[in-house]
Amino acid sequence: MGLQVGCRLRRCALRLATTAPTGTAATVGEESFRRDLRSYPPGMDTYTAPLRDVRFVLEHITPLTALTATEAFAHADPELVMGLLEEAGRFAASAIAPTNRDGDTQGSVLSDGEVVTPDSFKQAYRQYVEAGWGAVQHPAEFGGGAFPLAVANAVKEFITSGNMAFSLGPLLTTGAVYLMQHHCSQEQLDAYVPKLVSGEWAGTMNLTEPQAGSDVGAVTTKAVPAEDGTYRITGQKIYITYGEHDLTDNIVHLVLARLPDAPPGGKGISLFIVPKVLVEDDGSLGERNDVQVVSIEHKLGIHGSPTCVMAFGEATGGAVGELVGEPNQGMRQMFTMMNDARLGVGLQGLAIAERAYQQALPYAQDRQQGRGPDTPPGEQAPIIEHADVRRMLLTMKANVEAVRALCYLNAHALALAHAAPDDAAREEHRKLADLLTPLSKAWGTDVGVEMTSVAVQVHGGMGYVEETGVAQHYRDARIAPIYEGTNGIQALDLVGRKLPMDGGAFVKAFLGELRTEVDALPGSLSAIAEALHEGLDAVDRTTAWLGEHRESFDDVAAGATPYLRLLATVVGGVLLARGAAAAQRLLDDGASGGDAEFLAAKVTVARFFATQLVPAAVGLEPSVTAGAGDLRALDAGQLAP
């Protein structure tokens, strides 16, 4: 079944691929730009999926063969997977990327109580559904392709690079399916999941309220039992991504609310299915539920994604909802969805940084200014000849590849946490996924913001002008460190919950495995090994310090964010070194031509990351171990200007 669905996905994507250009963006110099801002650059909406790098990661850093060796993913033959990803890349380039500019300039708007999405989104979403791209990772029993998450995340990366604002709707739908698989009754699964898997319906999660942001336990939305076994939901939710839109016939809201006799705090939260349109027993759509959009936010970026204030039950005294699982289990259930979404958000940082890099590189190759080392007198050189521009481009490339390796390893571990052949192996992979998720989310999104900012810098003054398009990437990326748990919360989760796993033994063993891998690097990669050993030494020291100071958690919390940055950077460096070792083996075996150039670049990028970027992270060690003293030394009055 999974194989048949996979083939269908490939055929549909091929049929739907248009003739829009899929190469890197064309660029022009300042004079051409000034002649016609509206046409700069002619290919600004183009995107090329990084298939070669993705294939390298799936072959040499997070081996797909380890997944296909399991019964659950035996059908995910590597060549089938690469064919699938080629079509996904073609689709993202031809159908999604051209909507990015339109989505930003037109945006989603509220009109007569309905949200109207950008014109280009409607055709793109219809093609997305017809091709079945949202079904890649879901079970075959619900019409999914049953491919491992590592493969599905590659598809998500391409779609997100094409248009981050567009991708947010499918991301939430995927998370809703994932949650329902784990916590809903069979009747609920049959009623909702097939349409969510196909993309005919959309899903959301409704947590946040004005007084309950990150403190979800403070929600006050009410759920009162009705005589027919359903519940009547009343309250408002804010910041609901795609809470209302015109892309699907129905929207299935997953809503946190309190039952009348619920205990206070997070222990008294229950989860409810509240569809926009009620579903009849035969699966057809019935009456409109009492779910309304109050307003949509005017945001810094992701303008095409409607961020809604939602009202439940204001017209009739209660929207109809169905309880998911047992009462007062909503927090645990919702975190199933949130953890899936957190990796997806980390992937957004990667995807937007990749898109910004693809725009910065050709600009630097074309923009003429100043003289390079070998430029004849009286002539100008492309700015890529300047050392500082080279540093910026290589910093972007190295960070993108490191975050990709980390996010794919995270997905790899999640897949094996479900598909590994025995309980012990599944548990080890679950713990690894738990450890990596805050790294993927926080470091991935921080890197996304930083690298899109670097892309603006590469463009110089042109980058600060909206018509170039590069500023949009920076604006779009800025939300990712905030939602699905701010990056500060991810850091607290890391030091408060993940480091203490098994009394600290799991993290200690993981770091030992990384050190063993670095020890095994060939002599030709000795510079990489030396730099990574210094990074691992700093991680060992700071990990020990955090463990020794757990009784003073304020001190631990003060060092949490720099610690996450340090750990994630070193892990990323080791993963790049893993790729460099594989590349070196292939070079030693006689790789030639374009393959040799690609592999040699892998070695150089890994060396640059280890020797020039990891040391900056090692410099964070004093920040990790400083404690909270100076953070608490000034009161609010002293902090004032």
- Rounded Cα distance, 280 and 254, in Å: 18
Nearest to 148 by CA among 65, 253, 53, 60: 65
Strand 201-206 and strand 250-257: pairing?
A: parallel
Which secondary structure element, helix H or strand E, spans residue 186, and what is its range?
Answer: helix 186-198
Spatial CB neighbours of 171, under 8 Å, sequence gap ≥ 6: 156, 341, 344, 345
- Contact of 362 with 468, CB cutoff 8 Å: no
Residues in the chain: 641
Spatial CB neighbours of 436, under 8 Å, sequence gap ≥ 6: 406, 409, 410, 413, 571
Which residue's entry shows tokens 């040699």?
Answer: 600
Count CB-CB contacts under 10 A for residue 423. 8
User: Residue 234, CB half-sphere, CA atoms under 13 Å: how many?
Assistant: 11
Spatial CB neighbours of 548, under 8 Å, sequence gap ≥ 6: none
Classify residue 390 as exposed, middle or buried by CB count within 10 Å of its CB (0-12, 13-18, 19+): middle
The yes-or-no answer on residue 484 being catalytic is yes
Which position among 484, 513, 517, 597 bears the catalytic label? 484
Count CB-CB contacts under 10 A for residue 300. 11
3-state secondary structure of 272: strand
Spatial CB neighbours of 372, under 8 Å, sequence gap ≥ 6: 381, 382, 385, 386
User: Residue 133, CB half-sphere, CA atoms under 13 Å: how many?
Assistant: 34
Per DSSP, the residues of 524-550 read GGHHHHHHHHHHHHHHHHHHHHHHHTT
- Rounded Cα distance, 193 and 181, in Å: 8
Classify residue 88 as exposed, middle or buried by CB count within 10 Å of its CB (0-12, 13-18, 19+): buried
- Rounded Cα distance, 623 and 628, in Å: 10
- Contact of 623 with 559, CB cutoff 8 Å: yes
- Rounded Cα distance, 16 and 470, in Å: 28
Catalytic residue positions, numbered: 484
